[in-house]
Amino acid sequence: MDAAWYQDLDPTGFLARSLRVYPDKTAVIYNDRRYSYSQLYERVKRLASALKGLGVGRGDRVAFLLPNIPPMLEAHFGPMSIGAVLVAINYRLSAREIAHIIDHSGSKVLVFDSEFAPVVREVQGRMDSDLTFVQVVDTAPGAEDIPGPEYEAFLASAPPSDHHAGLTSELDTIAINYTSGTTGMPKGVQYNARGAYLNALGEVIEMGLSSRSRYLWTLPMFHCNGWCYTWAVTAAGGTHVCLRRPDPADIYGLIRQEGVTHMCGAPTVLISMYSSPAAEGQDLTGLTIATAGAPPSPQVIRTMEGMGASIHHLYGLTETYGPHTICAAQPGWQDLTTEELARLKARQGVPYVVAGDFLRVVDANMQDVSDDGVAIGEVVMRGNNVMSGYLDDVESTQEAFRGGWFHSGDLAVRHPDGYIELQDRAKDIIISGGENISSQEVEKVIMEHPGVLEVCVIAVPDERWGEVPKAFVTRKPGEEMPGEEIIEFCKERIARFKAPKYVEFGDLPKTATGKVQKYVLREVEWRGYQKSIH
């Protein structure tokens, strides 16, 4: 639309604005490299020109298989500058899954890190279509047997031109993010420019980002485009501190050395931080941490805030551009005990400012459940920060949007103050002898045990009750408590039927974003049985 009173929302404009306002300010830090906003802008424009030289144009898809290094940040601006679509891929997926994503998205180019050359070779063998490779050589030697230019040479080969045809509408797809594929092959979640722009502004407002912010990349940029922080930090004119791997010692080192003010991560990242030997003597005062991806227990929040950090609990899904809610702090909370505050902050909260009031907890008939903190329903949402739909999957899109709302598959209660609190995924509720048991409720109790580092609770088959809870526990280093101790610990704090019947100790299987893969544990336990559908 050509009008003085209207302009399409486009997150690439965040970089252009920060270029004008903060041209010489440090935009990106990675090891000994420093890029100003002028330099970042030039690199992005060179990337756009180089992709265009490969024949990439409006609507084409460009895949990136990279860790949290500068080229991955540049990927969030370069392709869309020529109207192309970013497909950021989880580098921990199998070659079969990566090949499916490239093929399903129709990507014409794969930009990959040389560390992942072994899996890329497997992908090559699975691809039917022609695919152009661009290789980023960072910590691993380049793979000479994979054809295609090296990334820095690729950028140097093209001029930093501003004369590109970009998006035609704010409703154009700018990114396709693939789900974890725990119930089949990954589905492609489509983000449009409007949703990305608004959710990025939501991050700026809710997290208090500014030009003084220094954001540490502990959250994978491939995950919901880094919860839109790739665009949010840039919009604020802040500094991106890139980190290839979220090793606790490196995290603490960068927090001190670079004056980090903000970071994000799943609860398992926070657990790794405070359980690391590097945590000794650390003072995180002045650091704001957003956590999501899995419900954090009050114990995790309490421990991190005890180190001085300020924790913000967010909730959302890939289908909602990452965060959709925040457990917003209320006046008077500062007067609560540490335990009371942690319990309140463990709730998922209220909608983001950009999400309006489009959040409900409903029953099977799409009627709102009572705001009593007891009645359980499904979390549904709608609005600008809900996906456009699943790529080339009309049936799944229609199912997800039934009744005019996006169905999350998460079960929750709504408290009298309007804050929601997740109880479980619909598929994770344990029905034992006709009684519903929230696995998350049991997990929160077990996390209070002083010897427990992490826990996951699932339903396992039982001849008498149909299914019963089983806890998979990772002990803290040096702890040797038996399973019976965990069971009795639970029976003293919740209804006895909710306590796990079995306890198994060991490491938990996780996704690249830190979520425990319950389905992996469930498949082993239910092998040879017919799992009930809740």
**Dist CA 416 CA 433 (whole Å):** 30
Report whether 153 contacts 50 (CB < 8 A). Answer: no
Q: Which residues face 109 on adjacent strands?
A: 62, 132
**Dist CA 80 CA 45 (whole Å):** 11
pLDDT at 532: 46
Number of Cβ within a 10 Å radius of residue 513: 22
467: its two tokens: 């299914």
Does the fold of domain 429-525 match that of domain 37-192?
Answer: no
Q: For residue 184, what pLDDT band results from cuts at 50, 70 and 90?
A: low
Return phi, psi of residue 79, to 5°.
Answer: -55, -45
Helix (H) and strand (E) counts in the chain: 18, 25
In the predicted structure, residue 306 carries a pLDDT above the cut 90 = yes
**Dist CA 351 CA 52 (whole Å):** 39
CATH of domain 429-525: 3.30.300.30
In the predicted structure, residue 287 carries a pLDDT above the cut 70 = yes
191-247 tens-digit pLDDT: 999 999 999 999 999 999 999 999 999 999 999 999 999 999 999 999 999 999 999
The separation between the first and the last C-alpha atoms of the chain, rounded to the nearest angstrom, is 48
The mean pLDDT value for 491-504 works out to 91
SS3 per-residue string spanning 264-304: EECHHHHHHHHCCHHHCCCCCCCCEEEECCCCCCHHHHHHH
pLDDT at 164: 65
Domain-wise residue ranges, the chain: 37-192, 246-425, 429-525
238-285 tens-digit pLDDT: 999 999 999 999 999 999 999 999 999 989 899 999 999 999 999 999
CATH of domain 246-425: 3.40.50.12780
In the predicted structure, residue 28 carries a pLDDT above the cut 60 = yes
369: its two tokens: 């459940």
Cβ contacts of 17 within 8 Å, gap of 6 or more: 235
40-82 tens-digit pLDDT: 999 999 999 999 999 999 999 999 999 999 999 999 999 999 9
pLDDT at 514: 75
416: its two tokens: 């009298």
Q: For residue 94, what pLDDT band results from cuts at 50, 70 and 90?
A: confident
444-462 tens-digit pLDDT: 999 999 999 999 999 999 8
Vertex 446: Cα angle to 444 and 517 (nearest 5): 70
**Dist CA 395 CA 147 (whole Å):** 38
Amino acid identity, residue 307? Answer: M
More confident residue, 514 or 405: 405
For domain 37-192, give the fold.
Rossmann fold (3.40.50)
105-134 tens-digit pLDDT: 999 999 999 999 999 999 998 876 789 999
Which of 59-68, 288-297, 425-434 shows the lowest per-residue confidence on average (mean pLDDT)? 425-434
Amino acid identity, residue 165? Answer: A
Reduced to 3 states (helix: H, G, I; strand: E, B; else coil), residue 194 is helix
Q: For residue 529, what pLDDT band results from cuts at 50, 70 and 90?
A: confident
Q: For residue 463, what pLDDT band results from cuts at 50, 70 and 90?
A: confident
In the predicted structure, residue 534 carries a pLDDT above the cut 50 = no
The mean pLDDT value for 143-149 works out to 95
pTM above 0.85, yes or no: yes
In the predicted structure, residue 340 carries a pLDDT above the cut 80 = yes
Cβ contacts of 438 within 8 Å, gap of 6 or more: 411, 423, 424, 429, 430
**Dist CA 318 CA 292 (whole Å):** 12
pLDDT > 90 in the chain, percent? 81
In the predicted structure, residue 38 carries a pLDDT above the cut 90 = yes
Q: For residue 533, what pLDDT band results from cuts at 50, 70 and 90?
A: very low
More confident residue, 24 or 159: 24
CA atoms within 13 A on the CB side of 219: 24
Number of Cβ within a 10 Å radius of residue 36: 16
pLDDT at 293: 81
Report whether 241 contacts 69 (CB < 8 A). Answer: no
Cβ contacts of 343 within 8 Å, gap of 6 or more: 298
Report whether 219 contacts 207 (CB < 8 A). Answer: no
Report whether 83 contacts 165 (CB < 8 A). Answer: yes
Number of Cβ within a 10 Å radius of residue 13: 17
pLDDT at 236: 98
Mean predicted lDDT score pLDDT of the chain:
93
